[in-house]
């Protein structure tokens, strides 16, 4: 989580009715599990508090130490037993009590086990639903949303934030019930046994609460300081390890080591502050507990002498006083969980509530493709749109007026034609393809397929018309075959192989250790640029689209691969309608029409020969970019 988000957490409330209601909605499909969990928690706390009571009764009724009289609970149990005609001698009674104790333990084990499994699984299922919902929504959000929100931030939604909610549903929600029931149970039993002694014992409670609150608060503050300082160390290391050669080049070792020592010392000191809280807290709680024991000895002992408290009850008081502290301490911890969960859910809901602007409302499918047309299209990336979360005021300035990337662009591609787009980097060529696939919508003008506006088609039908080969060959982690078919089950292994063979990618694939099943590592690491290029050609061919959009790569590769790629491109384009952002002379020369883009406008159009015939932009571009190819 970033510093900024951490900061957000601190300001959030631990309880927000609107968010809570929405969160409870996720509990609804699991309400059976949830109620069973709560029920089991209640049973578990009953088992939890039964032990000392059994001991007390057994001592009073069966052990009967000198001067002990059955009083209170023990007398009630004794009368009940007598009333039912059960008479037990000392040893049988003890055996019986031990048996009951054993039963309570076993029962407790089963109940606790079931409750934990149930509750944690419920948490997992809710997380499952949430992750699914977030991921699916991300698959529909506008491409523009991804331009504005860094991938890292979106990842946090699916990962860290969802985990914070898991804590809420497991450690938070049900456990709170558990603690409250155990506490209430102990209070109830002690009052039942002897309310005066119970009151005396509970007089230490405010101190436990106060010390716990003091500790939690201190621990939280120091913990935050520790977190911030370890983050500073991490940031320093990240920078200095990546930039180590700069450090060494400028002989900065001593200075930087000194700086690091400073950060390191601050981290140490923050930890030492934290140690103080821990070092004081545990002994202090122990001391308060002992004061509780002393009170039982003094006040309870007095009652025993007076004959108003049984010895068994006194022993039980000793035991309960030891179990009393934990739930109180746990409860004070829940506040943090609630707070973190509220902050996380707010961020998640914000993402889920982001509307999709490019709506998939068209219903047409294209049938046979006749034409693709741009008619007076104007487009700018920076107009309107939802603002990214957490965006600073800095970007606001640029929002004022659109920076046109395409200005009044019109052209038409008929079936079977090849149109080449040429021009400088940033002239708007790639934007043309993004608009065609409806990643963005133009501010003015129309884009038409077979004479009908593209928004009339379903997104799937529209995008199925094209296969795009981008410059940045994006490979996914997975095997070669999956990278060609992109997991589309309708593409058979045969189609995959044929496609690879036709673009001559099969040669290098067959050299890989496991052929088509070889795993491509992150971003295609381990494959050469040329190999990645061939793979993406195979991908386009496997999808066999009516129109091919090709954004040729400019990266220089060795001559042999270059020849392979040129041939592959010929194969790809053969008899197909295509839109090519072209860098290779061979591709351009064979185009039916060349569109010359300059600063967002189409400045010249025509065939290679026509354009070469007059002294224009194309001719100049040709001189720079393609002369080398002519020489070669």
Subset of residues 366 to 395 that bind other proteins, contact rule: CB under 8 A: 394
Query: What is the rounded distance in angstroms from the CA atom of residue 573 to the CA atom of residue 565?
Result: 12
Torsions phi, psi for 437 (to 5 deg): -85, 5
Binding region for other proteins (CB under 8 A) out of 34-42, 57-65, 496-504, 509-517: 57-65
Nearer to other proteins (CB atom), residue 196 or residue 620: 620
Binding region for other proteins (CB under 8 A) out of 9-17, 35-43, 433-441, 507-515: 433-441
What is the DSSP annotation of 586-603? Answer: HHHHT-SEEEEEETTEEE
Would you count residue 219 as binding other proteins (CB under 8 A)?
A: no
Which alpha helices (DSSP H) does 59-174 contain, by range?
72-83, 90-140, 143-148, 151-156, 162-167
Among 10, 239, 399, 610, binds other proteins (CB under 8 A): 239
Binding region for other proteins (CB under 8 A) out of 30-38, 291-299, 411-419, 586-594: 291-299
Among 87, 249, 397, 630, binds other proteins (CB under 8 A): 249
Q: Show contacts with other proteins in window 513-552 (CB under 8 A).
A: 522, 539, 543
Would you count residue 396 as binding other proteins (CB under 8 A)?
A: no
Query: What residues have CB less than 8 Å from 605, skipping those under 6 apart?
Result: 411, 593, 594, 595, 596, 611
Would you count residue 617 as binding other proteins (CB under 8 A)?
A: yes
Among 23, 295, 343, 564, binds other proteins (CB under 8 A): 295
Count, residues near other proteins per rule CB under 8 A:
139
Among 217, 350, 387, 627, binds other proteins (CB under 8 A): 627
Q: Show contacts with other proteins in window 113-152 (CB under 8 A).
A: 113, 116-117, 120-121, 124-125, 127-128, 131-132, 135-136, 138-140, 143, 146, 151
Binding region for other proteins (CB under 8 A) out of 314-322, 376-384, 411-419, 509-517: 314-322
Q: Shortest gap between Cβ of 421 and other proteins (angstroms)?
A: 17
Nearer to other proteins (CB atom), residue 15 or residue 250: 250
- Of residues 464, 176, 500, 470, the one with CA closest to residue 341: 176
Nearer to other proteins (CB atom), residue 260 or residue 349: 260
Q: Show contacts with other proteins in window 37-56 (CB under 8 A).
A: 51, 55
Q: Shortest gap between Cβ of 610 and other proteins (angstroms)?
A: 20
331 beta partners: none
Torsions phi, psi for 13 (to 5 deg): -80, 155
Q: Pairing between strand 577-581 and 452-453?
A: unpaired
Among 24, 272, 517, 613, binds other proteins (CB under 8 A): 272
Q: Shortest gap between Cβ of 567 and other proteins (angstroms)?
A: 24
Asked if 529 contacts 472 with a C-beta cutoff of 8 angstroms, the reply is no
Q: Where does residue 64 fall: left (phi above 0), alpha (psi -120 to 50 degrees), or beta otherwise?
A: left
Round to the nearest angstrom and report the end-to-end CA distance of the chain: 53
DSSP state of 581: E
Among 205, 308, 319, 329, binds other proteins (CB under 8 A): 319
Among 318, 335, 349, 381, binds other proteins (CB under 8 A): 318
- Of all helices (H) and strands (E), which one includes residue 421? strand 418-423
Residues shown for the chain: 632
- Of residues 558, 597, 564, the one with CA closest to residue 579: 597
Per residue in 580-610, is it b (16+ CB within 10 Å) or e — as a string?
A: bbbbbbebbebbebbbbbbebebebebbbee
């Amino acid at each position: 989580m970033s510093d900024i988000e951490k900061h957000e957490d601190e300001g959030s409330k631990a309880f927000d009715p609107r968010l809570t209601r929405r969160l409870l909605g996720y509990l609804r499909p699991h309400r059976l599990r949830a109620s069973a969990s709560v029920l089991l928690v209640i049973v578990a706390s009953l088992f939890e508090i039964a032990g000392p009571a059994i001991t007390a009764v057994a001592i009073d009724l069966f052990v009967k130490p000198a001067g002990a009289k059955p009083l209170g609970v023990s007398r009630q149990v004794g009368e009940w037993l007598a009333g039912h005609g059960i008479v037990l001698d000392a040893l049988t009674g003890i055996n019986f009590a031990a048996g009951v104790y054993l039963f309570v333990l076993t029962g407790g084990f089963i109940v606790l086990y079931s409750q934990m499994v149930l509750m944690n699984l419920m948490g997992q299922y809710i997380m499952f639903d949430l992750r699914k919902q977030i991921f699916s929504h991300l698959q529909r959000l506008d491409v523009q949303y991804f331009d504005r929100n860094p991938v890292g931030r979106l990842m946090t939604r699916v990962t860290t934030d969802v985990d914070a909610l898991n804590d809420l549903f497991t450690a938070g929600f049900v456990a709170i019930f558990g603690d409250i029931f155990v506490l209430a149970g102990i209070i109830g039993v002690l009052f039942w046994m002897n309310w005066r002694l119970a009151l005396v014992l509970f007089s230490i409670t405010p101190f436990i609460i106060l010390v716990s609150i003091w500790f939690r608060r201190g621990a939280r503050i120091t913990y935050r300081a520790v977190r911030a300082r370890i983050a500073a160390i991490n940031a320093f290391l990240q920078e200095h390890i990546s930039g180590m050669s700069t450090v060494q080049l400028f002989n900065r070792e001593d200075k930087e080591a000194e700086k690091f020592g400073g950060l390191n010392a601050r981290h140490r000191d923050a930890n030492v502050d934290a140690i103080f809280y821990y070092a004081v807290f545990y002994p202090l709680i122990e001391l308060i507990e002992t004061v509780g024991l002393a009170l039982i000895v003094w006040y309870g002992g007095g009652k025993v002498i007076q004959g108003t408290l049984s010895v068994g009850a006194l022993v039980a008081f000793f035991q309960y006083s030891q179990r009393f502290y934990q739930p109180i301490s746990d409860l004070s911890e829940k506040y943090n969980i609630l707070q973190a969960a509220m902050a996380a859910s707010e961020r998640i809901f914000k993402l889920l509530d982001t509307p999709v602007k490019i709506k998939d409302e068209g219903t047409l499918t294209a049938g046979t493709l006749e034409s693709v047309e741009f008619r007076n299209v104007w487009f700018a990336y920076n107009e309107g749109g939802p603002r990214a979360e957490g965006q600073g005021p800095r970007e606001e300035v640029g929002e004022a007026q659109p920076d046109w990337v395409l200005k009044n662009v019109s052209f038409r591609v008929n079936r079977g034609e090849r149109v080449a787009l040429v021009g400088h980097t940033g002239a708007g060529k790639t934007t043309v393809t993004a608009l065609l696939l409806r990643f963005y919508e133009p501010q003015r003008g129309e884009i038409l397929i077979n004479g009908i506006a593209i928004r009339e088609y379903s997104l799937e039908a529209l995008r199925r018309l094209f296969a795009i080969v981008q410059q940045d060959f994006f490979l996914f982690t997975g095997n070669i075959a999956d990278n060609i078919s992109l997991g589309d089950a309708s593409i058979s292994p045969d189609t995959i192989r044929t496609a690879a063979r036709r673009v001559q990618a099969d040669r290098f694939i067959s050299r890989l250790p496991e052929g088509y099943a070889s795993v491509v590592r992150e971003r295609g690491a381990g494959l050469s640029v040329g190999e990645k290029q061939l793979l993406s050609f195979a991908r386009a061919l496997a999808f066999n689209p009516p129109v091919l959009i090709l954004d040729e790569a400019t990266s220089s590769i060795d001559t042999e691969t270059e020849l392979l790629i040129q041939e592959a491109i010929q194969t790809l384009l053969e008899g197909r309608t295509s839109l090519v952002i072209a860098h290779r002379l061979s591709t351009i020369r064979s185009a039916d029409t060349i569109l010359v883009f300059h600063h967002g406008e189409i400045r010249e159009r025509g065939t290679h020969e026509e354009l070469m015939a007059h002294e224009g932009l194309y001719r100049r571009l040709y001189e720079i970019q393609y002369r080398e190819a002519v020489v070669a």
